[in-house]
A = this chain, B = another copy of it.
Amino acid sequence: MAKQKQDEGQAPKLTINDIARMADVSKKTVSRVINRSPLLNRETRDKVEAIIRETGYVPNPQARALALGRNFLIGLVYDNPNAQMILSMQRGILEALHGTEFELVIRPVDRGSNLVMDDIRGFVTRQRLFGVVLLPPMSENDALARMLDEQGCRYVRMGSAVLDDPEHMVASNDKEAVADAVRYLIAQGHRRIGLIAGPHGFRSAQERREGFEQALAEAGISLPRSLIADGQYTFESGLSASESLFDLTPRPTAIFASNDEMAAGVLYAARMRGIAVPEELSIIGFDDTPLTTRVWPPLSTVRWPIVAMGRAAALKLIGTAIGEGSEVNEPSMFSSTLIRRASVAPPAIS
């Protein structure tokens, strides 16, 4: 059977012992070469390195992990409808991991389920993950953070929130960014501005709402409750939330949606009602997903540096591992910026 496998042409896996034998040194010496130990004769090192290169030997990561008592797997935990965001995050994390021996293991979870906690616990303990990155809304769960601490699993939370714990948090200044966006609407002449808020319990939703309210307050514009509609960060919720805003008299001349999916919903709803964008209605979203440039007119939005934040999160995690005494100097707070596109114009003279 074993022989048969060989016959299938599979390369027989080399071990450190094979290399040691070929180089006529002890396995420990080979181990020293692999780990760049400084107390090695240059000659010996070269000899062993040559053989490693020739044979294409790669140390077994499982054995290494076992001996070292830690492994090289980073987990990404998410529950989020925004595919583009998650993929960008994955990309950022992987950029940071590139060239290291870390790999990224992913785990989408179902926030709706009561078993999330157990699910994640199983995830980190079963594989003994080195660390995890938590995406919203998981990152807002403090019990989860405690559990990870207990399990001895490092973590970094991604959030659009206050920076209560820089070591474990990478955040963007959503509040200020939204305030900027709304100031822009006000500068264009809008006074009746609707908000489609994100789900209750999401810190990002709350931050964005506060930014919205702040900008209006600054300008001395009153904000009747009716101008705030609840959304769920989904296209459909944006669609139905707009309906209620459209029914108001007078109708708002601009709407800020707490994410792009909902902004697209607003645009779609406007189209169905025959409301011209941007002439009769200005729209601003949040996230700068590709969707914003696919629809007509392209949507103004707030862009946050997802990839850079993912990279920073990963570096925070592994920094403590590879950090040679140097502190982790990754920035923890990132700035979002307003992207101006054709979905905003001054309100029609009324």
Q: Which of B11, B73, B127, B152 contacts A151 (CB 8 A)?
A: B11
Decide if B106 touches A61 in the complex (CB within 8 Å): no
A5 to B348 CA separation, bound complex (whole angstroms):
65
Q: Identify the stretch in A16-24, A27-35, A80-88, A330-338 within 8 Å (CB) of chain B at 4 or more residues.
A: A80-88
* Residue contact A103 to B87, C-beta cutoff 8 Å: no
Interface: A291 (CB within 8 A): yes
How far is it, in angstroms, between the C-alpha of A193 and the C-alpha of B296 when the chains are bound? 24
A149 CB within 8 Å of chain B: yes
Within 8 A of B (CB), among A312-337: none
Q: Is A225 an interface residue (CB 8 A)?
A: no
Q: Chain B interface: which of A62-70, A172-180, A245-253?
A: A62-70
Q: Is A105 an interface residue (CB 8 A)?
A: yes
Q: Is A294 an interface residue (CB 8 A)?
A: yes
Q: Counting CB contacts under 8 A, is A91 at the interface?
A: yes
Q: Does A104 lie within 8 Å of B101, measured CB to CB?
A: no
Inter-chain contact A103/B127, CB cutoff 8 Å: yes
How big is the A interface, by class? Answer: 35 or more
Interface string of A130-148 (1 = CB under 8 A from B): 0000000000000000000
Known A150-B9, A271-B296; judge A108-B127 contact (CB<8 A).
no
Rounded to whole angstroms, the CA-CA distance of A294 and B8 in the bound complex is 50
User: In the bound complex, do residue B91 and residue A108 qualify as a contact, i.e. CB atoms below 8 Å apart?
Assistant: yes
Does any Cβ of B come within 8 Å of A184's Cβ?
no
Number of copies: 2
Q: Mark A267-304, 1 if CB is under 8 A from B, else 0.
A: 11001000000000000000000110111100000000
Beta-carbon contact of A264 and B294 below 8 Å: yes
A327 to B177, CA, bound (A): 56
The answer, yes or no, to whether A341 is at the interface (CB within 8 Å) is no
A90 within 8 Å of B (CB atoms): yes
In Å, the complex CA distance between A302 and B149 comes to 47
Determine the residue in chain B with the shortest Cβ distance to A68: B62
Closest 8 CB pairs of A and B: A10-B152, A62-B65, A83-B87, A62-B66, A83-B83, A264-B294, A83-B84, A271-B296
Question: 16 additional contacts, CB 8 Å, given A62-B128, A235-B294, A261-B294?
Answer: A9-B150, A13-B152, A58-B126, A60-B66, A61-B127, A63-B66, A83-B84, A83-B86, A90-B108, A103-B105, A103-B107, A105-B106, A235-B293, A268-B294, A294-B295, A296-B296
Listed in ascending order, the chain A residues whose CB lies under 8 Å from chain B are 5, 8-11, 13, 58, 60-63, 65-66, 71, 73, 83-84, 86-87, 90-91, 94, 101, 103-108, 123, 125-128, 149-152, 235, 261, 264, 267-268, 271, 290-291, 293-296
Query: What are some 29 contacts across the A-B interface (CB < 8 A)?
Result: A5-B152, A10-B149, A11-B151, A60-B66, A61-B126, A61-B127, A61-B128, A62-B62, A62-B65, A62-B71, A63-B66, A83-B86, A83-B290, A84-B84, A94-B106, A94-B108, A101-B126, A104-B106, A105-B106, A235-B293, A235-B294, A264-B294, A267-B296, A268-B294, A271-B296, A291-B291, A294-B294, A294-B295, A295-B295
